[in-house]
Amino acid sequence: SAVISQKPSRDICQRGTSLTIQCQVDSQVTMMFWYRQQPGQSLTLIATANQGSEATYESGFVIDKFPISRPNLTFSTLTVSNMSPEDSSIYLCSVTARAGFSEQYFGPGTRLTVT
């Protein structure tokens, strides 16, 4: 199984600022994803991080608000821009080794509070 780390593990940020979350995997993976979990809610996919090209965003999420980078097969960043209290959530990185693989793993999450 893949070992995934995220930085920071938690942060408290002020309204209007930006935070960049890092996701590092201990092995090369085909696909990386970013999910958001708002308080008391389920997980919602923000985007698929594509290596060497622009991320693919889900409906309701835009690049200006959640810019994503993926420079190689083991690393990705998600930036939450111009934050508001509604952005307070857990942000989780997820990976799968290859398409159709039977296991998909999540990082430990970044718990973000916006004041």
Binding to other proteins in span 6-65, by CB under 8 A: 31, 33, 37, 41-45, 48, 58
Judged by CB under 8 A, which stretch of 13-21, 61-69, 80-88, 98-106 contacts other proteins? 98-106
- For 112, other C-beta atoms within 10 Å of its C-beta total 20
Q: Which residue lies nearer to other proteins by CB, 12 or 16?
A: 12
Distance CA 113, CA 46 (A): 18
- 56-57/110-114 β-pairing: unpaired
Binding to other proteins in span 60-89, by CB under 8 A: none
Positive or negative CA dihedral for 20, 110, 53, 42? negative
Q: Which residues bind other proteins (CB under 8 A)?
A: 1, 31, 33, 37, 41-45, 48, 58, 90, 92, 94, 96, 99-109, 111
